[in-house]
Structure 1
Amino acid sequence: MSFKKLIEPLKETLAQKGIKEPLPLQKKILSKIKGGSSMFVVAPKGAGKTTSIILSVIQNLKGQAVADAPRALIFVENKQAALELESEFYPYVKDTDLRVYCAYDEKNIDDQRDEIYMGTDVVIATPKRLNKIFFLNGINLNELQMCIIDDAHFLLGKSSFGDVVRTPESIGKCQYLIFTEKFDKRFENWQDTFMYNSLLIKQ
């Protein structure tokens, strides 16, 4: 997929950044994501995974805020990763209506629940904190269209793996996108459950 098919705010931001052409990985996956495919994307650092997430989320949500419930959820490893991803989102959403919110363990959970309730379109969260907020009835996942894991290899060998697996049990039909530097056999279980018929894209 070329950048010409992106919504105008995205094209303008890419132009301001001097980015003219998609990277090889982005050429492979952007059109498939736009088409609604769930997939595992396995690629090294620097291949353009994070930018692909940002472009795909904003494109699929059409750059427009709708109601109060989030439509995209992105799992990250920790507070630092959440804030870094939020910072990378900002240049791309500044000319849209989209609201991006970070939920991580170090912040007061009651404040987070109230702030999410006020309305957001994209939630960037650590798995543990997202689950706590959900079980406090602090987030509505019924409108979720995209569930994404950035740098999913952080899950391996940690309790966060179980926290992530529990999330699909609470939502309906959704597009799942797993971005990682390496594919682990435990991900194969997801292919048999909530990521049935998903694609595996490697670079």
Structure 2
Amino acid sequence: MSFDSLGLAAPLLQTLIQCGYRAPTEIQAQSIPVLLSGRDLIAVAQTGSGKTAAFALPILQQLAARKPRGSIQALVLVPTRELAVQVADAFTRYSAGLGLTTLAVYGGVNIRPQRQALAAGVDILVATPGRLLDLTGQFGLSLAEVNTLVLDEADRMLDMGFAPDIDKIRRQLGPHQSAMFSASFAERERELAGRMLSNAVSLTAMDTGRVPQQLALEVFMLDKPRWAEFVAELVGKRNWRQALVFVPSRDEANGLVAELALDGLQAAAFHGERTQGARRRGLDEFKSGKLRLLVATDVAARGLDIEDLPVVISLGLPHGEEDLIHRLGRSARAGREGLAVVVLSPEMRADLPLLEALCPTLPEVITPVGYSAKDPLPQRYRDGTATKPATKPANKSGHSGSRSGRGAGNRTSGRSGSRTDSRSGSNGSQRQSGKPARQGNAPKRHSRG
């Protein structure tokens, strides 16, 4: 199938060629005709499958035919600032030569430039719900001419408590077409969506609900206080130039960044407590290759499209299948190959069924050489040079002392002898078939947060 068979106009087809798009993905081929027909839509497809283009292209086609007057005609609601910027950039790229204006509005930044841009005329608005309600409630922004509403990452929008805000926004619209897009949709969110949509078409692309087939997976098990040490070793030994690391909390993100710096690895923390400017700088430096590592909470799991991201590392697992799909799905996007590394502690054995449900060919769980409970601790733990990072203020690590012999390139472990490569299939790793066998009680360690 080709894009021209979907009914798209010549200017859009030419732009797609310039963007390097050769053929529509499955969700694009299914969604574009439905949206062009004016029907409401629920579309579910795995991460990296081209969902943004699936709703952006029909919106642009319809607006180009209507020749709008500079008032907001299409509204896209998203859960995060970063996704707002990303979606707006995609609309701008696809609409080249059509004379349409797109704007992203979100909190955490000065509202005045956004108001000024809106006053100059905007056709497509991409917004987070809170900032949009600020603009409509305090500054009189009108949504009366919006005729298309899209909820991107719709399950997250409905699950995060945005439903009341979305209802407030919908009441400000006139008659409109609605679409909801996401990589996953639980039954509860489907029920909420059903109350918002009218006779909607429901589409689910193949392989939805599992990690991409082209994503290789490695699973390691070791005590949590040594996760930072193991991440630094993996990055150094395998010479990874770009890896996105997910952690459970903001404090753990800050602490891991500080620990990695002691190993000569520069990283940025990416979470909700950081300012919008700091998050943007960290993301830009990571994308450009200036930083090898971005350490994030699940705020980064949804919607961020980092082109050809080779490695995702998940320290622990999130609470549900949907969040795990979004974490691991940051790599192996758009048909590319990628690697996901999951690191668990022995106390997290009960989380393995969650991983097995999404990865039917789950690999053996490996305890890396030198990281079992009976292995002696590195000197820096025994002499107290590895200290627990402070959790307040958020952007200070609170570490003291330093490490030796563990630079970002060739590194030693602080034990006698050297550590072998711990990747799957390496000689010297302790393999566990199926569920990992219980390991003995670990010796007392200094806490590392």
Q: Taking structure 1 as the reference length, what is the TM-score of the superposition?
A: 0.90
159-168 vs 31-40, which moves further = 159-168
Counterparts of 1:173 and 1:64, CA distance in 2 = 16
Displacement of 1:20 after TM fit? 2.5
Q: Which residue of 1 aligns with 2:170?
A: 168
Structure 2 letter corresponding to 1:153: D
Q: Which residue of 1 aligns with 2:192?
A: 189
Structure 1 letter corresponding to 2:59: V
CA separation of 1:106 and 1:63: change in aligned 2, threshold 3 A: farther
Identify, as 1 or 2, the structure richer in helix.
1
Q: Which residue of 1 aligns with 2:80?
A: 78
Structure 1 letter corresponding to 2:155: H
Q: Which residue of 2 aligns with 1:140?
A: 142
Structure 1 letter corresponding to 2:3: F
SS in 1 for 2:166: helix
Unaligned runs of 5+ in 1: none
Structure 2 letter corresponding to 1:52: A
SS in 1 for 2:171: helix
The structure that has the greater radius of gyration is 2
Q: Percent identity?
A: 27
Q: Which residue of 2 aligns with 1:53?
A: 55
Cα RMSD (Å) of the superposition? Answer: 1.9
- Deviations along 1:107-134, one digit per CA (max 9) or x if unpaired, are 2224322321221000010011111111
Query: Do 1:146 and 1:176's aligned partners in 2 also have CA atoms closer than 8 Å?
Result: yes
CA separation of 1:63 and 1:15: change in aligned 2, threshold 3 A: farther
SS in 2 for 1:178: strand
Displacement of 1:153 after TM fit? 2.5
Counterparts of 2:123 and 2:67, CA distance in 1 = 6
CA separation of 1:146 and 1:2: change in aligned 2, threshold 3 A: farther
CA separation of 1:136 and 1:71: change in aligned 2, threshold 3 A: same
Runs of 4+ in 1 over 6 A off after TM superposition: none
Displacement of 1:3 after TM fit? 2.0
CA separation of 1:12 and 1:63: change in aligned 2, threshold 3 A: farther
Query: Do 2:35 and 2:55's aligned partners in 1 also have CA atoms closer than 8 Å?
Result: no
Q: Which residue of 1 aligns with 2:283?
A: none
Counterparts of 2:66 and 2:100, CA distance in 1 = 6
Query: Do 2:73 and 2:123's aligned partners in 1 also have CA atoms closer than 8 Å?
Result: yes
CA separation of 1:39 and 1:54: change in aligned 2, threshold 3 A: same
Counterparts of 1:18 and 1:190, CA distance in 2 = 34
Query: Do 1:150 and 1:179's aligned partners in 2 also have CA atoms closer than 8 Å?
Result: yes
Query: Do 1:64 and 1:98's aligned partners in 2 also have CA atoms closer than 8 Å?
Result: no
Counterparts of 2:32 and 2:158, CA distance in 1 = 26
Q: Which residue of 2 aligns with 1:108?
A: 110
Counterparts of 1:195 and 1:2, CA distance in 2 = 29
Q: Which residue of 1 aligns with 2:30?
A: 28
Displacement of 1:29 after TM fit? 1.4
Q: Which residue of 2 aligns with 1:177?
A: 179
Query: Do 2:40 and 2:201's aligned partners in 1 also have CA atoms closer than 8 Å?
Result: yes
Unaligned runs of 5+ in 2: 206-449
Displacement of 1:21 after TM fit? 1.9
Aligned residue pairs, count:
202
Counterparts of 1:121 and 1:63, CA distance in 2 = 13
